[in-house]
């Protein structure tokens, strides 16, 4: 039985095709519009039949890297035109794609892996297409966010995805401090070059929360490490850093909301490095579960030490 897809238009060209397991299947020309097509995050077998039919039936496939997308189209004998669309050429490529859409063409948007727009280019193209009254269709499929969330063994009823963290430690720790206030499972992307530092920062700020480090999901060397952040940080030096990483951190334990002395000091030092004493205390009180009087007294001590070390003054601003 032929897989269903979006409405098709058989006029204006010969039907196209794609191949699966040696079988050639038809894919008639798609009706004009923008199609957001999820592609495999590693294993090329994870593509859906609807996605293949859409890619084969599109007038053009807009992709981050034509070399990567070509591996997919060649695997399934799809001959549609490929054109690059990524963060570096979006300003010039987007008007051209919108013009083609306005002329009634079918444009399929893919990322290098997974679902388009999830920490990948495409948001402005979708927004402008919607504003122009162009039909936008989503073809759901692979997503590293959802794949990691489902295998982590952590609560899935409520979660927050925050993409990639800042590269610099001060900004990264500030972001993690903000995220630590959220009563939900957290999902983050991280590069192999920074994953060890990030896990250490997570353990310092979020204590003993349960977490999972997911590496190379759906690929040959897939690996999922599940433990507390403290235990993961203790052996982070042994972590294989090659590949793509998704970090999943469980929500705060309602019975263990009070931050340890060491974690409180780390949090206050980080906050004092970029905020006034008043703001640093307010931030720490909200996150730590400690009484304000106790946090304020500790912040004063640390501020004096930091002033002596760096010649900086922290006033109530």
CB under 8 Å to 229, separation ≥6 — which residues? Answer: 199, 202, 203, 206, 207, 208, 209, 210, 211, 249
Give domain 16-142's CATH number out of 3.30.1300.10, 3.20.20.105, 3.30.70.600, 3.40.1010.10. 3.40.1010.10
Region for residue 218 given its phi and psi (left: phi exceeds 0; alpha: psi -120 to 50; beta: otherwise): left
pLDDT confidence of 255, banded at 50, 70, 90? low
Same fold, 16-142 and 145-249: no
92-121 mean pLDDT: 95
pLDDT, tens digit, 9 for 90 and up, residues 118-156:
988 899 999 999 999 999 999 999 999 999 999 999 999
Q: Phi then psi for 210, rounded to 5 degrees?
A: -70, 145
Segment 163-187 mean pLDDT: 93
The closest of 139, 138, 137, 159 to 148, measured between CA atoms, is 159
Q: Given the structure tokens 């990264």, which residue do they identify? A: 172
Rg (CA), the chain: 24
Give residue-wise pLDDT tens across range 177-214: 899 989 999 999 999 999 999 999 999 899 889 999 99
- Residue 69 CA from chain centroid, whole number: 19
According to DSSP, residue 223 is labeled E
In whole angstroms, what is the distance from residue 56 CA to residue 47 CA?
13
**What pLDDT is attached to residue 274?**
83
Query: SS3 of 181, please?
Result: coil
Nearest CA-CA partner of 194 in 224, 222, 228, 169: 169
Instruction: Please give the CATH number for the structural domain made up of 145-249.
Output: 3.30.950.10
- CB contact at 8 A, 51 and 155: no
- Per-residue pLDDT band at 259 (split at 50, 70, 90): confident
Say which residues have a Cβ less than 8 Å from residue 92's Cβ, sequence separation at least 6: none
Question: Residue ranges per domain, the chain?
Answer: 16-142, 145-249, 261-310
Model pLDDT for residues 261-303, shown as the tens digit of each residue:
887 888 888 888 888 888 888 888 877 778 888 889 999 999 8
Phi, psi (degrees; rounded to nearest 5) at 19: -125, 135
Q: What is the pLDDT of residue 246?
A: 98
pTM over 0.75: yes
How far CA 230 is from CA of 140, 178, 265, 268, in Å, comes to 36, 19, 17, 19
The SS3 call for residue 275 is coil
Residue 34 has phi, psi (to 5 degrees) of -100, 125
- Rounded distance, CA 275 to CA 155, Å? 33
For residue 27, the cross-strand partners are: 16
Q: Is the separation of the CB atoms in 172 and 164 below 8 Å?
A: no
H helices, E strands: number in the chain? 11, 12
pLDDT at 5: 42
Of 300, 292, 294, which is closest to residue 276 (Cα–Cα)? 300
């Amino acid at each position: 039985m032929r897989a269903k897809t979006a409405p098709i238009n058989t006029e204006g060209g010969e039907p196209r095709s794609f191949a699966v397991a040696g079988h050639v299947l038809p894919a008639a020309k798609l009706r004009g519009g923008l199609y957001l097509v999820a592609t495999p995050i590693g294993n090329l077998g994870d593509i859906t039949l609807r996605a293949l039919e859409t890619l084969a039936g599109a007038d053009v496939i807009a992709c981050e890297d034509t070399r990567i997308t070509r591996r997919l189209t060649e695997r399934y004998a799809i001959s549609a035109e490929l054109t690059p669309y990524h963060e570096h050429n979006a300003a010039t490529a987007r008007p051209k794609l919108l013009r083609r859409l306005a002329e009634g063409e079918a444009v399929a948007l893919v990322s290098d892996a997974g679902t388009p727009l999830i920490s990948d280019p495409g948001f402005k193209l979708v927004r402008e297409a919607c504003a122009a009254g162009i039909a936008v269709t989503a073809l759901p499929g692979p997503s590293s966010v959802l794949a990691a969330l489902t295998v982590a063994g952590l609560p899935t009823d409520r979660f927050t995805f925050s993409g990639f963290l800042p590269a610099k430690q001060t900004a990264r720790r500030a972001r993690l401090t903000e995220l630590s206030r959220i009563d939900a499972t957290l999902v983050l992307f991280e590069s192999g070059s920074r994953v060890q530092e990030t896990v250490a920062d997570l353990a310092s700020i979020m204590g003993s929360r349960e977490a999972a480090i997911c590496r190379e999901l759906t690929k040959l060397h897939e690996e999922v490490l599940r433990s507390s952040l403290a235990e993961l940080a203790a052996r982070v030096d042994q972590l294989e850093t090659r590949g793509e990483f998704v970090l999943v951190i469980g929500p705060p334990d309602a019975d263990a909301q009070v931050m340890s002395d060491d974690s409180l000091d780390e949090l206050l030092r980080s906050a004092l490095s970029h905020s006034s004493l008043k703001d640093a205390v307010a931030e720490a009180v909200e996150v730590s579960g400690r009484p304000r009087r106790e946090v304020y007294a500790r912040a004063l001590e640390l501020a004096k030490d930091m002033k002596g070390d760096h010649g900086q003054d922290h006033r109530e601003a």
